[in-house]
Amino acid sequence: MTSTGDRITKTPTEANETERWASLIGGGAMVLTGLSQRSLRGVLTALAGGGLIYQGITKHSTIQQAQEAIGMNKPIKVEKTVTINKPADELYRFWHNFEQLPTFMKHLQSVKVYDAKRSHWIASAPLGNNVEWDAEILEDRENEFISWASVEGADIDNSGFVRFKKAPGDRGTEVKVVLEYNIPGGGLSAALAKLFGEEPEQQIGDDLRRFKMLMEAGEIATTEGQPTGRR
């Protein structure tokens, strides 16, 4: 530590040490807060805090570098496209009836439509938890495009869109889904999810494959070899 007149400044080593202890203390607080919540958000907050503690123990880094290293505060974005041998209007109508989406979206438990704009969603989550949110349609172009976003108070902030576009060579319709999640722990949460077979990109890809089977064949073949018809 050096002194210039009445001003005291810290050396780079001392500044790093201060930030390291800030990581340790801040991470510990996140762990305690997360564990006390007994929810998925709490679990992910606790894990993010654990990551900060790890960074504080293993190396001298700024808090920002520690957050980046464990993927905190970074939204998770997923993009997937599938070509389905059906016209866009048929696919759009089925998808737009949101209460039918759990038919092929494995982790979606239920959707309740309130009105033309609002709906309530309940989904399964890693570690035996559920998450709930209200969503609002932002843009709706018949047979072409639907976009939405969660409203204030959602367990997990999310937004996305589905686009229905005629495939080249008259091969049906390209269905593109883009989703973005903003959850405590960010990339750390995604890494954790992979360990439990819940990785978002794989999940959406599987959902779209089931949607393709359902729309083209009228049923979804389960892993046990027993077909599941439309609900």
How does pLDDT run across 98-155, given as a tens digit for each residue?
999 999 998 899 999 999 999 999 988 766 778 899 999 999 999 999 999 999 988 8
Q: Give the C-alpha separation, 213 to 200, whole Å.
A: 20
Q: So what's the pLDDT on residue 197?
A: 46
Torsion of CA 185, 186, 192, 197, to 10 degrees: 140
Question: In sequence order, which residues have a C-beta less than 8 Å from that of residue 121 and are 6 or more positions away?
Answer: 108, 110, 111, 132, 133, 134, 135
pLDDT in tens, 39-55: 545 545 545 555 545 55
Average pLDDT, the chain: 74
State the span(s) of the chain assigned CATH 3.30.530.20: 71-217
> Average of pLDDT values for 150-176?
92
DSSP 21-88: HHHHHHHHHHHHHHHHH-SHHHHHHHHHHHHHHHHHHH----HHHHHHHTTTT--EEEEEEEEESS-H
Tell me the pairing of strands 129-141 and 118-125: antiparallel
125 versus 92: the higher-pLDDT residue is 92
Matching CATH number, 71-217, of 3.30.530.20, 3.40.630.30, 3.40.50.300, 3.40.50.10440:
3.30.530.20
Return the SS3 of 111. strand
Work out the percent of the chain whose per-residue pLDDT is above 90.
39
Return the SS3 of 14. helix
> Average of pLDDT values for 177-202?
63
Q: Quick one: pLDDT band at residue 229, thresholds 50, 70, 90?
A: low
pLDDT in tens, 6-36: 554 544 444 455 555 454 455 455 555 554 5
- 80-94 residues labelled b (16+ CB within 10 A) or e (exposed): bebbbebebeebbeb
